[in-house]
Amino acid sequence: MPAIGPVEAARIPTPVVRHRLDGERVLRGALLTGFALFLWLFVGYPLLQVLWRSLLDNEGQFIGVANYVRYVRTPAIAASITNSLWVSTAAMVLTVTLAFVYAYALTRTRMPWRGFFRVVAMLPIFAPSLVHGIAFVYVFGNNGILTRQTGLNVGIYGAKGIIFAETFYCFPHALLILVAALSAADARLYDAAAALGASRLRTFLTVTLPGVKYGLMSACFVVFTLVITDFGIPKVIGGKMSVMATEIYNQVIGQQNFTMGATVSVVLLIPAAIAFAVDRLVQRRQYSLVTSAAQPLAPGRSRLARALLFVYCATIAAAIVGVYGVIGVTSLVARWPYSFAFTLKHYRFDTIGGYTPLLNSLEVAALTAVAGTVLAFVGAYLVEKCRTIASGPLYVASILPVAIPGMVLGLAYIFTFNAPGSPLNRLYGTLALLVLSNLVHYFTVPFLTATTSLRQMDAEFESVGASMGVPFWKTFWRVTVPIALPSIVGIGMYFFLNAMVTLSAAVFLVAPGTELAAVAVLLMDDAGDTAQAAAMSVLIIGSGLLVRLGFWWLLRGITRRTQAWTATPSEG
Amino acid sequence: MTAHRSPAVALERIAKKFGHVVALRDASLAVAEGEFVCFLGPSGCGKTTLLRIIAGLERQNVGVVRMAGRDVSHLPPSERNYGIVFQSYALFPNLTVARNIAYGLEARRKSRHEIDGRVAELLDLVHLRAHTQRYPAQLSGGEQQRVALARALAPSPALLLLDEPLSALDARVRLALRQEIKALQRRLGITTIMVTHDQEESLTMADRIVVMNHGVIEQIGTPVDIYTEPRSRFVAGFVGHMNFLSVVADARPGWSRLGALALRHRAAPPVPAGTPVTLGIRPEEIIVGSGARDAENRIVGRVAGLQFLGAFTRLRLDLGDSAPPLECDLAMGALAEVGAKEGVELPLALRADALRVFRDPTPPAASDA
Ligand SMILES: Nc1ncnc2c1ncn2[C@@H]1O[C@H](COP(=O)(O)OP(=O)(O)OP(=O)(O)O)[C@@H](O)[C@H]1O
Ligand SMILES: [Mg+2]
């Protein structure tokens, strides 16, 4: 018989026989269009606005790359690039090194208190980044307790402070990745190394490190991106040192120079985008490395190493607890570090008019959690299960937001939603816009989580439903959603916790009446109301922890209910 | 019921490509009502694609799908009235066996009572009464398979589509379920199309087999037809075992030459003398021992190997350097009778009526025969 190839294929017409339009196809098309429209309106279009504005002067005249030339030629502004790269690299090396040893101790030894150490290390996730900077100021700053008590001023304002505070802030993010990478180790490799008579050091260098190579790289990218895009810490502890994120703020809020803000934003997009792209490539390769036949490793048991690692973990855990202890104490005493009389007066928030910011934050976080979960899951479903020519572009557009720094997103939204004469203006200064910016800012991770959980499901659920005349939305609701419920709950929590602590995009988008708690911390700290800033931080952390507990309880209930489906087949 | 009804499923010149990959070419087929048809072919030949086109889960580039005479090419899956079982079963893990089976019924606005009745009926049909409230993960592979079958049958579809329903099961369960599915299909009289790459499965279950290769339907026929009258070398080799001998056509019609040896074969359209053709004979059709002495097409083979296969033994017989070794099946009794041992030379006869002639496919242009 003849060979089948492109020549044969050419004889078959390309258009396929169309199915009649029915309600299901119309709905699917409408949902896809809606999702695409959302991504265009809140991701694509605003980004293009930033790009465009960086090519204009403040009168709106097109001036090409003149802004960029001015950026690199003005030493005071240009320094922000090198400063950003330097502190991000330093914080990255420090954080990943510290977190790697910590993760190693948690996963490869049977040392006591491992659970406790793991929980404590996660604490920084519940606080806005700037809280870590503030805590450092309270201890090492000009009026810090250490400086007061010893008269020794370590000069915390500047690179030093930024790097150390960022290390605290980024520690749990690096730890999560490294723990996962180290847990996936294959015991057979270690057995082989031992059988070949390899020394401990050799085993570590030839087996352990290569095994977690991709995890290490991933952790590096994540930390680097977190630091270079962070605004809160450099703002409160950076002193005279300007980094790109604070430079955007200075240009926009300080000097009303929107085009220079846009220019710095575009430059800030580059390292974030590179880190993102390389990380995606690395992760793709990692999949081929993990085989399902890998044997879990039984943790080793050298006593001296265990003791040393225990001391190490205890020190780090104590430091983290110390940070939150300082914040807590500051909020509860009359005047840190001069008068330690107990008081609750800072929790009245007189200067900012009470609890409105906190309530706003809770409302925004709850709405973000609900809307974000729906959007991420439905979006992933549409991209994954309704295969069309749009699937590829929609997927790319959905994972793009993670590469957009918060400051850039905030500025983009100013351009988009605060443009004279635009119908989109009605959103400006509303809580809705804050919710939307959170949705976009934190969209990628939930979207990928949902995609993964959808890919793990049988590809034919919808086909089975369709064959029996059950519309796809019914199968979605009765089968897909219940199976993915654990992921869905996780997605909701992720959105909530991030929305509670986010500062960068919000700082451009809050308006009178829509202040958020994290922004209030920044403003009160700026105004010298340190104790009230601390009190607000405590409330943010507290509500985050409470919600985390709630989610944990919810998840436990779900797991208990779904245990029956996941049981192994019974005998006979 | 009238005698002349339109076929339950009719495919007219279906073609399908994925990018540059041609999955199907010019596939036409009619399935009668109540018939059990198997799509058989090697991996990647387009069986699943053809089944999914019938189901409306894939859309063809060209061609018409008819069901009971009606053109359904433009109908979405939900309006084609069939039940389907996938290789993975695709049971809903979060629903009990009963809810899985009821899934298609609930969409049809039936009363709770009606649904429960129908579910019970189906549970009896597939012998799963005891497992009503279990979840799929709590069932064995074979039981899951039966739930999938019951779920597909619950809305009483006119057509049952099965995509390799047995391939995920171990050998013994597979044999039992073959019988069970076949019996069920007979009892319900439901038109069924099953995809498989297992020739034994298709021979034992199907009323008719559709043999496919490289996106083309090679032959359609009853199992006996396909086995005894394979139309191409591919079909002959894919369904059952067949020995092939490369020969050239002789000047006498009905004869060919294997080196110096003249062989008479089945009647076939004459070809010019000297044309290379292939002769095929099944291992069990070769006569061995005394029976071969005064038969025609006699040759001598040296036993080069014996493979014990239970009910019979497969001999490998060397014919010298003029031809590849022949495989020949002998029952236990016959084996002792002819005294087959390694190294022994045995007289053989290739029955002329068993020697099928295949035109060699060498020149690609001449394949439309
Ligand atoms: N969605 C798709 N996209 C691209 N190519 C496809 C797609 N589905 C099938 N093909 C190709 O079409 C051809 C026929 O595939 P099909 O699944 O129908 O084969 P099959 O006979 O069912 O094989 P198997 O026995 O392995 O299931 C194959 O070459 C396959 O790679
Ligand atoms: Mg297949």
Q: Could you write out the DSSP letters of every residue in A156-210? A: -TTHHHHHHHHHHHHHHHHHHHHHHHHHT--HHHHHHHHHTT--HHHHIIIIIHH
Ligand at shortest distance from the CA of B58: 1
> Does B245 have pLDDT greater than 80?
yes
Atom of ligand 1 nearest to the CA of B41: 21
In angstroms, the CA B286 to CA B280 distance is 11
Out of B22, B39, B48, mutate this one to test ligand 1's pocket (max ligand atoms within 8 Å of CB): namely B48
In angstroms, the CA B232 to CA A367 distance is 67
Residue A339: strand, helix, or coil: strand
Contacts of A483 in chain B (CB under 8 A): 93-94
Work out the angle at residue B25's Cα, subtended by the Cα atoms of residues B19 and B31, and round it to the nearest 5 degrees.
Answer: 130
CB-ligand 1 contact for B52 (6 Å cutoff): no
What letter does residue A484 receive in the DSSP assignment?
Answer: H
In angstroms, the CA A305 to CA A267 distance is 45
Tokens of A4: 């089948």
> pLDDT value at position A351?
79
CB-ligand 1 contact for B308 (6 Å cutoff): no
Answer yes or no: is the ipTM higher than 0.95: no
In angstroms, the CA A177 to CA B183 distance is 55
Domain limits of chain A?
A: 350-562
pLDDT greater at residue B322 or residue A400: A400
In angstroms, the CA A16 to CA B230 distance is 34
> Taking every pair of C-alpha atoms in chain B, what is the biggest distance, in angstroms?
79
Residue bearing the CA closest to ligand 1, atom 29: B44
> pLDDT value at position A299?
57
> pLDDT value at position A344?
87
Closest partner residue to B61 among A2, A12, A467, by Cβ?
A: A12
In angstroms, the CA B146 to CA B161 distance is 14
Atom of ligand 1 nearest to the CA of B51: 18
Task: Find the mean pLDDT for residues B254-278.
Answer: 86
Name the closest residue on chain B to residue A16, using Cα atoms. B61
Please count the CA atoms within 13 angstroms of the CA of A354 that sit on its side-chain side: 3
> pLDDT value at position A292?
43
User: Which phi and psi angles does B279 have, rounded to 5°?
Assistant: -105, 145
> pLDDT value at position A285?
64
Residue type, B199: Q
Q: What percent of chain B has pLDDT over 70?
A: 96
Contacts of B73 in chain A (CB under 8 A): 17
Residue of B326, B324, B330 whose CA lies nearest to B350: B326
Q: How far A23 CA sits from the closest chain B CA (Å)?
A: 11
In angstroms, the CA A384 to CA A472 distance is 13
Atom of ligand 1 nearest to the CA of B16: 12
Residue A456: strand, helix, or coil: coil
> pLDDT value at position A571?
39
**How distant, in Å, are the alpha carbons of A246, A372, B76 from that of A22?**
53, 29, 8
A26: burial class by Cβ within 10 Å (0-12, 13-18, 19+)?
A: exposed
In angstroms, the CA B55 to CA B72 distance is 10
CB-ligand 1 contact for B44 (6 Å cutoff): yes
Beta bridge partners of A498: none
Ligand at shortest distance from the CA of B197: 1
Average pLDDT, chain B: 89
- Least confidently predicted of A444-453, A474-483, B43-52, B302-311: B302-311
**Contact present, B49 and B23 (Cβ < 8 Å):** yes
Residue bearing the CA closest to ligand 1, atom 30: B44
> pLDDT value at position A288?
46
Taking 50 as the pLDDT cut, the residues of chain A under it are 1-3, 287-294, 296, 569-572
Compute the distance from residue B59 Cα to the ligand 2 centre, in Å.
Answer: 16
In angstroms, the CA B359 to CA B368 distance is 11
A5: burial class by Cβ within 10 Å (0-12, 13-18, 19+)?
A: exposed
Tokens of A436: 């939307």
The H or E element containing residue A298 is: none
CATH topology of domain A350-562: MetI-like fold (1.10.3720)
pLDDT greater at residue A142 or residue B95: B95
Ligand at shortest distance from the CA of A459: 1
Confidence of residue B64 (pLDDT cuts 50, 70, 90): very high
Contacts of A458 in chain B (CB under 8 A): 86, 88, 90
- State the SS3 of chain B: CCCCCCCCEEEEEEEEEECCEEEEEEEEEEECCCCEEEEECCCCCCHHHHHHHHHCCCCCCEEEEEECCEECCCCCHHHCCEEEECCCCCCCCCCCHHHHHHHHHHCCCCCHHHHHHHHHHHHHHCCCHHHCCCCHHHCCHHHHHHHHHHHHHCCCCCEEEEECCCCCCCHHHHHHHHHHHHHHHHHHCCEEEEEECCHHHHHHHCCEEEEEECCEEEEEECHHHHHHCCCCHHHHHHCCCCEEEEEEECCCCCEEEECCEEEECCCCCCCCCCCEEEEEECHHHEEEHHHHCCCCCEEEEEEEEEEECCCEEEEEEECCCCCCCEEEEEEHHHHHHHCCCCCCEEEEEECHHHCEEEECCCCHHHHHC
> pLDDT value at position B20?
87
DSSP for A199-264? -HHHHIIIIIHHHTHHHHHHHHHHHHHHHHH--HHHHHH-TT---HHHHHHIIIIIT--HHHHHHH
Confidence of residue B68 (pLDDT cuts 50, 70, 90): very high
Q: Which distant-in-sequence residues (6+ apart) come within 8 Å of A289 by Cβ?
A: A214
- Whether the ω angle into residue A337 lies within 30 degrees of 0, i.e. cis, is yes
Cβ contact (<8 Å) for B76 and A12?
no
Tokens of A159: 């690179």
The alpha carbon of residue A341 and the mean position of all alpha carbons in its chain are separated, in whole angstroms, by: 38
Q: Within the 195-224 window of chain B, which residues sit less than 8 Å (CB to CB) from chain A?
A: 213-216
Task: Find the mean pLDDT for residues B241-267.
Answer: 87
What letter does residue A351 receive in the DSSP assignment?
Answer: G
